[in-house]
Amino acid sequence: MPSTHLSLHYHIVFSTKGRKQSIQPEWIQRLHSFLGGCARELSGIPLAVGGVADHIHLLVGLKATHRLSDLVRDLKRASSEWVHQETGLVRFAWQEGYGAFTVSVSSLVAVRIYIAQQKAHHRKQTFEDEYRALLELHRIEYDKRYLW
* Residues 46 and 108: beta-carbon distance below 8 Å: no
pLDDT of residue 11: 98
Query: Mean pLDDT over residues 112-121, rounded?
Result: 95
* H-helix segments, the chain: 28-41, 68-87, 108-116, 118-121, 127-137
pLDDT of residue 16: 97
Domains, the chain, ranges and CATH? Answer: 9-146 (3.30.70.1290)
pTM, whole model, 2 decimals? Answer: 0.93
pLDDT tens readout for residues 72-98: 999 999 999 999 999 999 999 999 999
DSSP label of 3: S
pLDDT of residue 53: 97
pLDDT tens readout for residues 19-68: 999 999 999 999 999 999 999 999 999 999 999 999 999 999 999 999 99
